[in-house]
Amino acid sequence: MSIATHNARGINNEMDQNNITIEMEKRNINILGLSETKLNINSQNFAFKGSSKYKCFSSIKPENKYAYGSGVAIVMEKELAKHVGHVTKIEGHVLALHMFFKKYKLCIIQIYLPNNKGSSNNYQRAIRKIITDESRNKAEIILMGDFNAVNNPQTDRPIRENRPVLWKPEIEIFNFLDDWAFVDIQKSWEGDRITHTWHNNRTSSRIDYMWLSADIASRSVHSFENKKAKEIANSDHILLNLKLYSKEILNNRRPVRKEKGKKLL
C-alpha cells in the first residue's frame, strides 16, 4: 500500500485535480494526503467528482471565503474508501480518516498547521486528542502533512553563521510524538543523510513529515522516498511517499457501515 503526502499549494481548478490523479496512477499511490488545498465551500463540493477511481475527503475553513492558507484533503482509491468508518474534520487544518478492516484499525491524519503559534497550538491539542483516543482503540496511526515548523533546527533548517542553533523542537507536538514512541519515518529511513522537503531560491527546510505509530513502523514499512513532484501541482514542496506491506491490513477486508463525521472544534 502506497501512502503519500504533499503540500499542493492549491488544487481549486480541474486541471490540477486531473494532474493529481494522473500522477497517483503513474506513481502507484493508493492514498495521497494534500496540504494547503485552498478549497472553499463551493469548490470542495466538486473536487475530484469526475474521477471513476478516486474519492476525495476534505476539510475546509468555512468562514474563509478564498481559503488561502488552509485546506486539507485525502484522495484515495474508492475500493479503500469503502473502509472509512467515520471522518474527523477540524477547520481546514486537520482531517482524520478512521478506517476499519476485519482485523485491523488504521487512522490516517493529514494536517496543515498554521504559521501562527497560538493557532497552531489549538490544532496540536486536537491532534493529540485524536491520537490518544485512537491509541486506546488499538488503532495504528499515520500522522502526516505540513507542520510549518521543524523538529530539529540543527538538521531541519540551514545553519546560519553567527547565530546559535537550538536543538529542541519548534512546536510541542513533536515532543508528544516522541513521548508516544512515534517514528519519524524519513529520519529513520535517511539517517544522517536527511533531506529537506521545502525549497525556494534562497533557503530550504524540513517542515513536512510522516510520523508512524510504533507497531506499524516496526512491522509494516516496505520503503520510503522523498520525491520531487513539480509535475503534480507545481509546488515548492516535495512528495513524501511511504510504502507498506499491506497483507495484514488488507487481508479479509470487509467494508463497515459508516458513521456521521465528528467535529472536535
SS3 content of the chain, % helix, strand, coil (to 5): 30, 30, 40
User: Does residue 102 lie within any of the structural domains?
Assistant: yes
* Helix extents (H) in the chain: 14-26, 41-44, 78-81, 117-136, 153-156, 173-179, 185-190, 214-219, 230-233, 247-250
Q: Are 72 and 37 in contact (CB under 8 A)?
A: yes
Residue 94: CATH number of its domain: 3.60.10.10
Q: Which domain holds residue 68?
A: 2-250
The answer to whether position 214 is within a domain reads yes
Q: What is the pLDDT confidence band of residue 47, given thresholds at 50, 70 and 90?
A: confident
Question: What is the tens place of the pLDDT at every residue in 99-124?
Answer: 999 889 999 999 999 999 899 999 99
| Alpha carbons 94 and 127: distance in angstroms, whole number | 8
SS3 56: strand
User: Does some domain include residue 255?
Assistant: no
- CA–CA separation, 197 and 230 (whole Å): 12
Q: What is the CA radius of gyration of the chain?
A: 17
Q: How far is CA 219 from the centre of its chain?
A: 20
Whole-model pTM? 0.90
% of residues, the chain, pLDDT over 90: 65
- pLDDT for 102: 87
- For 10, 98, 136, 250, the CA distances from 133, given in Å and listed in that order, are 31, 11, 5, 23
The number of folded domains in the chain is 1
Query: What strands lie across the sheet with 140-146, from one edge to the other?
Result: 84-90, 94-101, 104-112, 140-146, 208-212, 183-184
The three grid cell numbers given for residue 87, joined into one nine-digit string: 471522518
Residue 185 lies in a domain: yes
Residue 176 lies in a domain: yes
The answer to whether the beta carbons of residues 150 and 157 sit under 8 Å apart is: yes
Within a domain: residue 16?
Answer: yes
Residue 265 lies in a domain: no
Q: How many CA atoms lie within 13 A of 95 on its CB side?
A: 25
- Residue 126: half-sphere exposure toward Cβ, Cα within 13 Å: 23
Cβ-in-10-Å burial (0-12, 13-18, 19+) of 228 comes to exposed
Mean pLDDT computed over 59-69: 68
Coil vs helix vs strand at 244:
strand
Is residue 61 within 8 Å of 34, Cβ to Cβ?
no
Cell numbers that stand for 110 in this block: 493529514
Flag whether 258 is in a domain: no
- Does the pLDDT of residue 260 top 70, yes or no? no
Tens of pLDDT along 153-206? 989 998 776 666 677 999 999 999 999 999 999 999 999 889 999 998 889 999
